[in-house]
Copies of this chain bind each other. A is one copy, B any other.
């Protein structure tokens, strides 16, 4: 896809074969949460022979350019989120799955931050039972 190459160049990333494949999958319009492992599995199914090292490099490169958000949620693995807007999540431990919450939520009753500290952002994680 021409668009993806252009998109990568716009973000100071050389459109190599591997990056194009990965970006095409990640930025297909449907927001995703991936770990290196889940992405690797997807790519294996697509028969794209991309090494794990490259998958890690690429996810981190995309992250550094702001194309992905990093989530570390009650879990052992780092999730990369293609939705880089500020938003919240449902999390099902049982399914090991994250679901975006895209509506605006308000947190009330927040105490003052400690002296000399400023609030940067508020993250709400809604744990699901089943």
- Contact stretch, chosen from A2-10, A13-21, A102-110: A102-110
Interface residues of A in 80-102 (CB under 8 A from B): 90, 92, 99, 101
Residues of A participating in the B interface, judged by any CB pair closer than 8 Å: 72-76, 90, 92, 99, 101, 103-111, 113-114, 116-130
Query: Can you name 27 A-B residue pairings with CB atoms under 8 Å?
Result: A72-B73, A72-B74, A90-B113, A90-B114, A90-B117, A99-B114, A101-B110, A101-B111, A103-B109, A103-B111, A105-B110, A106-B107, A106-B109, A113-B128, A114-B128, A117-B129, A117-B130, A118-B129, A119-B126, A119-B129, A120-B128, A121-B127, A122-B127, A123-B126, A124-B124, A124-B125, A125-B125
